[in-house]
Structures are given as C-alpha cells and as structure tokens.
Amino acid sequence: MAASKGARPPTIGDVAARAGVSPATVSRVMNGNTSVDEALAQRVRAAATELNYRASPLARSLVLGKTNTIAVVVPDLENPTFQGVLRGLSRSAGHDGYHVLIADSAESITDEQILAVETRRRCDGVVLCAPRMPESDLRALLPELQPVVLVNRGADSSVPTIAADYRTALRELLELLYDNGHRSLMFLAGAPQSASNAARLAALEEFRAARPDARVDVVPCGVSFGDGYDAAGTVATGSSTGVLAFNDLVAMGLMSALGELGVRVPQDVSVVGFDDIQFARYTTPPLTTASVPVAELGEQAWLRMRDLLNSRRPARPLLFRPRIERRGSTGPARTR
C-alpha cells in the first residue's frame, strides 16, 4: 500500500524490504541495469509501484554519472534565429528524456568561452553556437567540452558540425538583384570576426569576379535591428540601388528608418535580408530573404549529440542550403 497522506515518502530501503532484496539490487533495477535477474527485477518494480516510489533524479545522476541534461551556448537569445535552433533542439532532446540548459553570452566572446566550460561541468555535453569566437580560441576550447557539437561553425573534423551554407545563399541573393538590373550594391556587414560574415564576404568576392560590371560596397554595420536602423542614412545618401543586410533584423531596422526618411522600398532601393525569421514575411513590404531551416539545425544537432552520448559515431557533417524567398522588398533597379 502506498504511504498515506502526510507520511514520509517511501525510500529505497522500503522497496527493498517489500521486495525481499537488498537496497543495491533496487538501485540497479531502478537505474536500468540489465544484469539483475528478470524475476527479481519484476518483484522490485512491483514493490516500487505498490509503494508509489520514485527514484530521486539527483541520486540517479550520481549513480549513473550523468545528468540527462545538455547545455546550449548561444551569443544572443533575443535573435529569433537562435530561438529557432533552440526550439528544434530542445523538442528533440525532450523526446529522448533530456533537458536543455541554455547559456546566453550576450555577444561577449570572453563570456562565451567561460560559459561553455562552466556549463559543461554541470551537464553531459555542449552544443556550441559560437559564430564570432576566433578560430584559434575555438580549437583550444573544444577538447574541454567533449562531447560537443558545433552549430554554424567548422573547426575540427572530429567534431560534429551542423551549418547553413551562407556563402551559396548570399551569392544567389546577389544574382537576384543583378538580374533585376542592380549594378550598384551595398552589403551591410555583420561582426568582423563572425564566421558567417566571412562566408558572406567570400560570396561577394566570387560575385565581383563573375560580374565585373557590378559594384558592391561593404559597409560595417552589425547584427541587430538598431544597427540596421542606424545605417539608413548611409543607404539613403548613397548611390546603391540594392542593399544586402547581414540578417533579417538588420534589414527590418533599415526598412523602418528608410520609411521615416521617405525612401521607398523597393521603388528607390531594394532590400534583402538573411535567415527568414518569423516576422520577415509580415514587414511592409514583405522581406526578400534566404530561409535557413533553423529548427532542423537544432534537431540535427541533437541527433549527433545523442550519438556521442551513446558512444556511437555521429552522422556526417551537415550543410543546409538556404532557400531564397523572393518577396516585395526587391524589384527592378531605379532608373536615373
């Protein structure tokens, strides 16, 4: 019979006494140890059910040497892209009985490294989204974090990696503008040390080589709505007819400020973003962008972490090719 209301909760000793076995045997059964004779195991489980006994998660963690928790380190939780990755990852991990501990470095590379190490001590593995960490620092850090999965970074062939193909997608956005007659373009660059920004710059170089009749000016900007808003003056006074923003947040901030300045999108200037965050299709006009499957990035990151946690060789690195979403923020280049 289960303990009455107000009585102390049943203990592992109570279960052992009811089943006629030792507490050690109860512990092995409750922790899934298959070495216990099945008849004894059934007796233990029956006794636990009768007593309404539940093993302590903390005690279970100590016995098994694992927490059933993984950490995810991201640079900015306010960015919907990282929210999407977390959503896909946490749902997939939850289906396998794992919890997700989230650490936000607030765009601080120093804090990013500290958080990664500290959270690893409290969990079974780390999924690291560190787009701006220097390559040398990342390589030095990875051995401390094992098992670890990287999102949108590549640093070590032995570390599972899930990433979006920023280079190819930006090249496609450039070609979209070029096909609309745009020959004077501007790229609002992200953080200089960002790996994904470097991929975008590589796409610009490829485009320049292939399209010598087009000009692309690179303007330092940033990654936030405010950064895009602040760049509007430069765009409005420049000669560029097409602007590529580092991401959708920058593009949205830019379009908001351009509207205040009386600059029409796309009649005066076409604007493209990157990521296809939830709000991109609801801007005025709707934003042309490259759609990154962020939830799937998170799901695939978990599958590789699950393999590592179970001492299996993880699946190959995965590179997602974003899909171009052509909407109302782009149109033919204005004529003078």
Query: pLDDT by residue for the chain (336 residues), tens digit each?
Result: 444 445 677 888 888 898 888 877 877 777 666 677 888 888 888 888 888 877 655 455 445 557 889 999 998 888 889 999 999 999 999 999 899 999 988 878 888 888 899 888 889 999 999 888 888 888 889 998 999 999 988 766 678 999 999 999 999 999 999 999 999 999 999 988 888 999 999 999 999 999 999 999 999 999 999 999 999 999 999 999 999 999 999 999 999 999 999 999 999 999 999 999 999 999 999 999 999 999 999 999 999 999 999 889 888 888 999 999 999 999 999 875
**Shared domain check, 255 and 226:** yes
**Shared domain check, 311 and 212:** no
**Shared domain check, 268 and 179:** yes
CB 122 within 8 A of CB 71: yes
> Residue 35 domain-assigned?
yes
**Shared domain check, 73 and 59:** no
Closest to 223 in 3D by CA, of 75, 7, 1, 27:
75
Walk across the sheet containing 69-74 and list its strands.
99-104, 69-74, 126-128, 148-151, 161-164, 318-320
Q: Whole-angstrom Cα distance, residue 78 to residue 55? A: 37
pLDDT at 22: 84
Closest to 245 in 3D by CA, of 267, 225, 268:
225
* φ, ψ dihedrals at 166, nearest 5°: -65, -35
**Shared domain check, 135 and 148:** yes
**Shared domain check, 75 and 136:** yes
Helices (H) and strands (E) in the chain, counts: 13, 12
- Chain position carrying tokens 């759609």: 291
Domain that holds residue 18: 12-64
> Residue 91 domain-assigned?
yes
pLDDT at 29: 77
> Residue 311 domain-assigned?
yes
**Shared domain check, 273 and 301:** no
Residues 6+ apart with CB under 8 A from 75: 82, 104, 105, 106, 107, 112, 129, 130, 131, 132
Helix, strand or coil for residue 73? strand
pLDDT at 6: 52
> Residue 44 domain-assigned?
yes
CB 280 within 8 A of CB 286: yes
How many domains does the chain fold into? 3
Amino acid 159 reads V
pLDDT at 1: 45
Handedness of CA 250, 251, 253, 258 (dihedral sign): positive
Angle between helix axes 294-309 and 80-95 (nearest 10 degrees) is: 40
Burial class (CB in 10 A: 0-12, 13-18, 19+), 297: buried
> Residue 332 domain-assigned?
no
**Shared domain check, 171 and 271:** yes
Angle between helix axes 23-30 and 38-51 (nearest 10 degrees) is: 90
CB 286 within 8 A of CB 329: yes
The bridge status of strand 270-272 relative to strand 242-245 is parallel
> Residue 6 domain-assigned?
no
**Shared domain check, 243 and 95:** no
Q: Whole-angstrom Cα distance, residue 26 to residue 42? A: 11
Handedness of CA 174, 288, 253, 75 (dihedral sign): negative
**Shared domain check, 244 and 188:** yes
> Residue 7 domain-assigned?
no
> Residue 326 domain-assigned?
no
**Shared domain check, 99 and 43:** no
Instruction: Assign residue 205 the CATH number of its domain.
Output: 3.40.50.2300
- Chain position carrying tokens 């790996």: 195
Instruction: Assign residue 53 the CATH number of its domain.
Output: 1.10.260.40
Tally Cβ neighbours within 10 Å of residue 14.
19
**Shared domain check, 275 and 226:** yes
DSSP 4: P
pTM metric for this prediction: 0.78
CB 173 within 8 A of CB 290: yes
First vs last C-alpha separation in the chain: 88
